[in-house]
């Protein structure tokens, strides 16, 4: 009877087992730009000093005791950390013989909600005696457990701008954030000290400017984030605490959704994510709030993070343009649209990694460890052989183009008809994706002191959207007279208000001798010119 208490739909979880990751001999220091390259071939960019240093650190026991140091979050109070778990309690926590909670044996047939365990974006769990505390496009922070203390190392991609450093860490920091301005750490309380925050700026005009601050006794840090203008900590007491970069407490308030799960920030924007109410699948919904700390304005208040039923959150970060992005346990990367206006946020899929062509053969088995969204690409680390997180030496970064999953990603075929259908689908995807980019940039320009480069992107993307529409229209004309109504509808979708694009559309119609269509496009252009918009309602 005991075997049956797990609902059928969740039983699969019981079978998931953490696999040891093969010791990956890849070098450090390779910057993104090697899309599609297998993660095993690179060797560029690794300095000799690093080699010696790493050889010293990596012993035969690096892979042993896999997960042994894994702390479990028994009470959901939120101080344990397990970023790679799919946002759920691992299945074995329900039935497993862990000495920490013998009582569970007796209550195992009681149904319980599953909460999301807090995690720090870009961090990995312990493997052997080491783990990454932070891994992003600026650099990475990793720590080694030396039993009585830890040793922390901070390395940068851009060594002209920043100098790597490492230090002996008696506080055993378990969370870190890294950006161009500094590094933020936090540790749990111990018998010697309460929970601490520690910030170390990279550049200073005074002798020593790092600082430490204490949380009230009994309060633990559940997640931290660092931007160019502020520091945020969520705590086990349910508070969001905001500090200036030099540690002046600016404000604090109760987080509405607790226990906290994670947070991220970008300039003055802070995104906090917490456990919201429980969904019909028995798992808590993740709710997020985005706040502009300087203006003291909430952009999105406890909005639902759009994850599919049963899915978890793998990472959250701001893109290089400052838009919030998430990567979920189903392998989908999403970006948040219209998030600067309260109540308008939407999560749009940028890429479903499961549908990428490289996986189409079905022979490759790999997953992707999300790192960043930058230069209109998804930057990640390819994980093979069932790995659940990157290990040492740091593997290469890969990057992939976006593809909105508008329709099936069909491989290009020899069959001519199929090829036409595939081209049509590609154009449709391009239309949706370019419209999305246009929306994102329009929002940026409308709400911020945008650069002139950013401002010029708006009309450029508008033109790009219309060009895709022209291609779609040409396809409809090619198909035949009976596609006229659809062709006309495509013409009405054009954004250009100068008439140029509709003139081009008319020319396409006449080239294919679609005269009725051509007439109707001319009428549409005329109505638009005199300001008769085709809105049903304003």
* Range 446-465, binding a copy of itself (CB under 8 A): 448-449
- 415 near a copy of itself, judged by CB under 8 A: no
Among residues 20, 38, 96, 247, the one that binds a copy of itself under rule CB under 8 A: 247
Instruction: Tell me, residue by residue from 265 to 304, as one string, x for binding to a copy of itself by CB under 8 A and - for no binding.
Output: --xx------xxxxxxxx-xx-x------x-xxx-xxxxx
**Of residues 299 and 396, the one with the C-beta less far from a copy of itself:** 299
What CA–CA distance (Å, rounded) separates 112 from 104? 11
Whole-number minimum distance, CB 385 to a copy of itself, in Å?
25
What CA–CA distance (Å, rounded) separates 249 from 238? 16
Q: If 0-12 CB within 10 Å is exposed, 13-18 middle and 19+ buried, where does residue 138 land?
A: buried
Q: Which of residues 460-499 bind a copy of itself (CB under 8 A)?
A: 472, 481-486, 489-490, 493
**Of residues 184 and 472, the one with the C-beta less far from a copy of itself:** 472
Whole-number minimum distance, CB 362 to a copy of itself, in Å?
13
Q: Which of residues 172-211 bind a copy of itself (CB under 8 A)?
A: 194, 201, 204-209, 211
Whole-number minimum distance, CB 453 to a copy of itself, in Å?
15
**Of residues 130 and 483, the one with the C-beta less far from a copy of itself:** 483
Among residues 39, 237, 273, 474, the one that binds a copy of itself under rule CB under 8 A: 237
- 406 near a copy of itself, judged by CB under 8 A: yes
Q: For residue 238, give both structure tokens.
A: 């349910």
Cis (ω within 30 of 0) for the bond into 232? no
Whole-number minimum distance, CB 184 to a copy of itself, in Å?
15
**Of residues 46 and 346, the one with the C-beta less far from a copy of itself:** 346
Options 12-20, 30-38, 362-370, 428-436: segment touching a copy of itself (CB under 8 A): 428-436
Buried residues in 502-536 as b, exposed as e (16+ CB within 10 A): bebbbebbeebebeebbebbbebbeebeeeeeeee
**Of residues 140 and 243, the one with the C-beta less far from a copy of itself:** 243
- 306 near a copy of itself, judged by CB under 8 A: yes
Whole-number minimum distance, CB 94 to a copy of itself, in Å?
12
- Output the 3-class SS for 110-162: CCCCECCCCCCCCCCCCECCEEEEEECCCEEEEEEECCCCEEEEEEECCCCCC
Whole-number minimum distance, CB 109 to a copy of itself, in Å?
7
Q: What DSSP assignment string belongs to 265-304?
A: EETTEEEEEEEEEE-TTSBEEEEEEEEETTTTEEEEEEEE
Whole-number minimum distance, CB 443 to a copy of itself, in Å?
10
**Of residues 58 and 278, the one with the C-beta less far from a copy of itself:** 278
Among residues 123, 223, 257, 367, the one that binds a copy of itself under rule CB under 8 A: 257
Q: Which of residues 57-116 bind a copy of itself (CB under 8 A)?
A: 74-77, 101, 103-104, 106-107, 109-115
Q: Which of residues 319-338 bind a copy of itself (CB under 8 A)?
A: 334, 337-338
State the virtual CA torsion across 68, 391, 86, 103 in degrees, nearest 10: 0
- Are the beta carbons of 232 and 245 closer than 8 angstroms? no
Among residues 345, 396, 502, 508, the one that binds a copy of itself under rule CB under 8 A: 345
Whole-number minimum distance, CB 346 to a copy of itself, in Å?
5
Phi and psi of 271, rounded to 5°? -115, 120
Options 21-29, 164-172, 173-181, 307-315: segment touching a copy of itself (CB under 8 A): 307-315
Q: How far is CA 255 from CA 140, 217, 259, in A?
A: 29, 19, 9
Phi and psi of 30, rounded to 5°? -80, 125
What is the number of other CB atoms lying within 10 angstroms of the CB of residue 27? Answer: 18
Residues that contact a copy of itself, how many (by CB under 8 A) = 128
Whole-number minimum distance, CB 526 to a copy of itself, in Å?
18
Q: Which of residues 117-176 bind a copy of itself (CB under 8 A)?
A: none
**Of residues 104 and 384, the one with the C-beta less far from a copy of itself:** 104
Among residues 51, 228, 357, 418, the one that binds a copy of itself under rule CB under 8 A: 228
**Of residues 49 and 106, the one with the C-beta less far from a copy of itself:** 106
End-to-end CA distance of the chain: 61
> Which residue is listed with tokens 């910057």?
31
Q: How far is CA 342 from CA 159, 190, 302, 339, in A?
A: 40, 41, 11, 7
Among residues 31, 252, 419, 420, the one that binds a copy of itself under rule CB under 8 A: 252
Among residues 428, 458, 495, 522, the one that binds a copy of itself under rule CB under 8 A: 428
**Of residues 135 and 490, the one with the C-beta less far from a copy of itself:** 490
Cis (ω within 30 of 0) for the bond into 393? yes
HSE value, Cβ hemisphere, 13 Å, CA-based, for 108: 19
**Of residues 58 and 71, the one with the C-beta less far from a copy of itself:** 71
Whole-number minimum distance, CB 216 to a copy of itself, in Å?
5
Among residues 87, 122, 125, 238, the one that binds a copy of itself under rule CB under 8 A: 238
Strands (E), 313-472: 313-318, 324-328, 332-337, 346-352, 366-374, 377-384, 398-401
State the virtual CA torsion across 200, 201, 203, 209 in degrees, nearest 10: -60
Among residues 12, 216, 385, 459, the one that binds a copy of itself under rule CB under 8 A: 216
Among residues 407, 471, 510, 522, the one that binds a copy of itself under rule CB under 8 A: 407
Size of the chain, expressed as the number of residues it contains: 538
3-state DSSP assignment of residue 80: coil
What CA–CA distance (Å, rounded) separates 165 from 120? 21
């Amino acid at each position: 009877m005991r075997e049956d208490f797990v609902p059928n739909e969740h039983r699969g979880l019981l079978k998931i087992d953490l696999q040891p990751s093969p010791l990956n001999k890849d070098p450090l220091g390779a910057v993104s730009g090697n899309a599609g390259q297998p993660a095993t071939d690179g060797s560029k960019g690794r300095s000799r000093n690093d080699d010696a240093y790493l050889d010293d650190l990596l012993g035969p026991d690096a892979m042993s005791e896999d997960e042994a140091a894994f702390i479990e979050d028994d009470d959901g109070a939120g101080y344990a950390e397990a970023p790679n778990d799919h946002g759920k309690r691992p299945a074995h926590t329900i039935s497993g013989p862990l000495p920490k909670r013998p009582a569970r044996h007796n209550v195992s047939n009681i149904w319980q909600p599953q909460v999301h365990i807090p995690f720090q974006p870009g961090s990995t769990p312990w493997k052997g005696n080491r783990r990454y505390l932070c891994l992003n496009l600026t650099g990475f922070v990793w720590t080694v457990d030396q039993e009585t203390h830890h040793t922390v190392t901070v390395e940068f991609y851009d060594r002209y701008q920043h100098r790597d450093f490492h230090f002996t860490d008696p506080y055993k920091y378990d969370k870190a954030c890294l950006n161009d301005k500094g590094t933020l750490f936090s540790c749990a309380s111990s018998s010697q000290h309460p929970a601490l925050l520690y910030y170390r700026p990279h550049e200073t005009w005074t002798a020593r400017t790092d600082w430490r601050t204490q949380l009230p006794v009994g309060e633990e840090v559940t997640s931290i984030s660092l931007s160019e203008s502020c520091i945020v900590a969520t705590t086990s007491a349910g508070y969001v605490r905001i500090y200036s970069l030099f540690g002046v407490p600016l404000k604090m308030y109760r987080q509405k959704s607790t226990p906290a799960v994670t947070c991220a920030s970008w300039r003055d924007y802070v995104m906090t994510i917490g456990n919201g109410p429980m969904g019909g699948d028995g798992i808590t919904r993740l709710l997020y709030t985005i706040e502009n700390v300087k203006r003291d304005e909430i952009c999105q208040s406890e909005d639902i993070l759009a994850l599919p039923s049963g899915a978890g959150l793998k990472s959250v970060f701001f893109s290089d343009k400052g838009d919030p992005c998430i990567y979920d346990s189903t392998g989908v990367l999403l970006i948040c649209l219209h998030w600067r206006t309260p109540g308008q946020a939407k999560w749009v899929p940028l890429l479903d990694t499961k549908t990428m062509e490289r996986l189409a053969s079905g022979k490759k088995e790999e997953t992707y460890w999300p790192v960043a969204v930058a230069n209109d690409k998804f930057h990640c680390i390819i994980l093979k052989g069932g790995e659940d997180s990157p290990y040492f030496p740091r593997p290469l970064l890969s990057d992939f183009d976006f593809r909105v999953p508008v329709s099936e990603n069909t491989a290009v075929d020899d069959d001519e008809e199929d090829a036409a259908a595939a081209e049509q689908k590609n154009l449709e995807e391009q239309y949706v994706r370019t419209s999305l980019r246009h929306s994102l940039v329009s929002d940026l320009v409308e709400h911020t002191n945008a650069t002139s480069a950013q401002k010029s992107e708006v009309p450029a993307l508008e033109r790009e959207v219309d060009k895709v529409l022209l291609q779609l229209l040409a396809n409809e004309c090619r198909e035949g007279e009976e596609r006229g109504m659809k062709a006309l509808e495509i013409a009405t979708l054009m954004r250009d208000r100068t008439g140029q694009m509709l003139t081009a559309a008319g020319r396409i119609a006449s080239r294919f001798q679609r005269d009725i269509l051509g007439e109707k496009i001319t009428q549409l252009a005329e109505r638009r010119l005199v300001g008769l918009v085709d809105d049903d309602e304003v």
